[in-house]
Structure formats: C-alpha cells, structure tokens
Amino acid sequence: MGKVLVLNASYEPLNITSWRRAIVLLIKGKAEHVEHNGKFIYSDFPLPTVIRLRHYVRVPYKEITLTRRNILHRDGHTCQYCGYTGDELTLDHVMPRSRGGGDTWENIVTACVPCNVKKGCRTPQEARMPLRHPPRQPYSSLYFEVTKHLKSGLHQEWQKYVIGL
C-alpha cells in the first residue's frame, strides 16, 4: 500500500516506515495524521502518507560517507554540466586537485567523460561550463531514500517536509 514519512514533533523528517507501522503508532497515540492520499483503511480512517510523532525524539548526527556511490546518488546519476544520464559517468573536482581542491562534498560532482575532459584543470567558470546544481553535503542519510520516493512521483505530498534535506 505504500510508505509513510515519519516527522519528529518539530516537523523534521526522521525516517520512512511501512503503512502498517504508521497505523500502529497512530492507534497507540504516539503519532498524529498529517497527510493522507485519499485511500482509506476503514471508512473513517484514512491511510496516512505523513505522520508526526507527538513527542520529540533526539537523533544523533551521523555524517554521510563521501563515496562515489553517494555522490552519484546525490547528483541523480546525471552529468552536472550537460545533463547526460548514461552509464559513462565520472567524478569531477570543481576546483581541480592540481589547484588545491580537495575531496569534499562541495568540491566533487558527477560528470560525463566528454565534459570532464573538456573542463580539464580549470574551474567551471574558466571553462564556461556552469554547474546545473551547486554541490553540497546531504543533511542526512534519509535524503537518499526520500529523493528516491519523490522521483518516483508517488509521494509528492512529502515535498514540503523535506525541502531542507
């Protein structure tokens, strides 16, 4: 039937759970309905798509590891210069390593081979190749799971709760 976005009491996204677990949290009074998609479990009980916990849950910060897989996922498996979405993707340093650029979330983007070669050891401005999206570090590991669901088009009602991720 679908997945449910769980918000903290402060409306921050916490995780994604099954609709069954969400129903249990609602029945036990640990959460409240925020959004539903028009489907009903019972005639007076709508199937939730977003719930909010009644009490704040403190979550420790967990940094996301900088890996090729995570960068490709962050950039949507798309060249950040031309928009190519095939299999031949590489990683490009926005500020080249030869000029002091490091391996950071804010300095590495996904690029196709022709764009990476064209840019060479220059910055995007010098190569006149603007980035489609400025690179940034994802806020939480939930970012990857949420973007997957948003891109599928099934959970557009989540959009207003995950803008800051």
* One-character DSSP codes across 99-117: GT--S-TTTEEEEEHHHHH
Distance CA 142, CA 14 (A): 7
Quick check: helix, strand or coil at residue 97?
Answer: helix
Q: How are beta strands 45-53 and 3-7 bridged, if at all? A: parallel
Site of tokens 């804010």? 106
Domain spans of the chain? 3-60+140-161, 68-127
Would you give per-residue pLDDT tens digits along the chain (165 residues)?
688 999 999 998 888 899 999 999 999 999 999 988 788 888 788 889 999 999 999 988 778 889 999 999 889 899 999 999 988 999 999 999 999 999 999 999 999 999 999 999 999 999 999 999 999 988 776 776 777 766 666 677 777 777 655
0.85 exceeded by pTM: no
The answer to whether 96 and 87 have CB atoms below 8 angstroms apart is: no
Amino acid in position 79: C
Amino acid in position 30: K
From the list 142, 138, 147, 155, the residue with the least C-alpha distance to 34 is 155
**CATH architecture label of 68-127:** Orthogonal Bundle (1.10)
